[in-house]
Amino acid sequence: MTNRGNRPHDATRMKLGPLVVPDWLLVVIVCLIPVGYMVTRSFGRANPITLDIELTGTLDPYRTLLSGIYRPVLVRSLGLAAITVTMCLVIGTPAALALSRLSGRSRTLALVAVMLPSFVSFTVRIFAWQGVLATGGPVESLTGAQLLYRPPAVLLGMITAYVPLFILPAYVALSRVPRSMIEASADLGARHWRQLGTIVLPLALPGVVTGAVVVGVLSLGEFIVPTVLGGGKVLLLGNILAERGAGRDQPLGGAITVFMLLTFTAGGVVVAIFRRRAARHA
């Protein structure tokens, strides 16, 4: 039987324990209370005149969300989020890998280049894309393609907005893969692709998946991009949440919140599984 009291880290935990309290308080105040508020409202009925909510325990908001009106929106939102995540993985992983292989000044410069767009307001960047994709804009002039106010424009806007957010955690994870392990595998005859597939990516998987979850969460709630680049024709869950859920149908907004929470929780479970597998691998 293990004498847990003799383990040195337990003593440290006891000392640091009270320091965590403000963090938890912050989580409760900033996150749990507002989410709980919305979840509670998902079981209510809104008065369309006064916006008062009567908590009746009804499931009508969920029925409405899954009804024929909003089903295409659910499918479209999940689909666009999935494509965005996939594209970020495809574009961002090699970029993060390349970044992790750089060193010194070139790494700093490359990191700044990746992060530079994030220094400009998200909304400004999306409106900038509107100008780029507009009739007579650079994209149409060069390619002849009219993308603005069409689903590809929404996808383009979401990918370009979120790729940097994917690259950062992926880069951190990739740069922490010990060089010694890569060199050892090389000594044992593993070539580049094999090193990548059996050493680098499995060890960096938690960071890559974390980046993917961040992008997925943000994509699913997106409403600015479809409004500006989709021309109001590409309705997503975020738009309904903004237009109805924050307005005269808070119960519907609550139901959307629960739907998103369940989706994110599923994402979290996937991350946990990947982390566990990666830990075993290490």
Partner 1 sequence: MQPISRRSLFAMAAVATPLAFLAACGDDKKDGASGSTPGDTTPGDTTPGDTTPGDTTGSSTPDPGALTGTVNFLNFTGWAGPTTYADFAAAFPGASVNEIAFASNDDTISKAKDRAGDIDVVLVDGTTFPRLTALGVLAELGDVPNMSLVADQYKGNSWDPTNASFAPTDHGRTGIIYRKDLVTTPPTSWAEFFEMAPEHSGKVAMLDYQGSVMDNVLVMLGKPVGSTDETDLAAVLDVLTTVKPHLLAISTEVGKAVAAGDAVMAMCDAYDAQLALTTNPDVVFVDPSEGQVGYLEGLAILDGPRNALASAFVNFFLEQANYAAFINNVASPYVQPDNPDIDAALKASPVINPPAEVVAKLQYHVFLGEDQPKFDAVWDAFKAA
Instruction: Give contact residues for partner 1 (rule: CB under 8 A).
Output: 48-51, 68-70, 72-73, 123, 134-135, 146, 148-149, 224, 227, 231-233, 235, 239-240, 244, 246-249
Q: Which is nearer to partner 1, 50 or 141 (CB)?
A: 50
**Using CA atoms, how far apart are residues 73 and 242, in angstroms rounded to an integer?**
14
Contact between residue 219 and residue 85 where contact means Cβ atoms under 8 Å apart: yes
Q: Are strands 53-55 and 44-46 parallel, antiparallel or unpaired?
A: antiparallel
Quote the least distance from Cβ 223 to partner 1, whole Å. 10
Geometric angle at alpha carbon 256, from 251 and 169, rounded to 5°: 145
Quote the least distance from Cβ 151 to partner 1, whole Å. 13
Q: Which is nearer to partner 1, 36 or 232 (CB)?
A: 232
The pair of structure tokens assigned to 79 is 């689909």
Question: What are the DSSP calls for 160-206, one per residue?
Answer: HHHHHHHHHHHHHHHHTS-HHHHHHHHHTT--HHHHIIIIIHHHHHH
Quote the least distance from Cβ 89 to partner 1, whole Å. 28
Q: Which is nearer to partner 1, 123 or 198 (CB)?
A: 123
Q: What's phi and psi for 176, nearest 5 deg?
A: -90, -5
Q: Which is nearer to partner 1, 3 or 135 (CB)?
A: 135
Quote the least distance from Cβ 120 to partner 1, whole Å. 14
**Using CA atoms, how far apart are residues 160 and 84, in angstroms rounded to an integer?**
9
Q: Which is nearer to partner 1, 64 or 175 (CB)?
A: 64
Q: Which residue has the tokens 């009508």?
A: 60
Quote the least distance from Cβ 73 to partner 1, whole Å. 5
Quote the least distance from Cβ 49 to partner 1, whole Å. 5
Q: Which is nearer to partner 1, 79 or 232 (CB)?
A: 232
Quote the least distance from Cβ 56 to partner 1, whole Å. 15
C-alpha of 186 from chain center: 35
Q: Which is nearer to partner 1, 28 or 69 (CB)?
A: 69
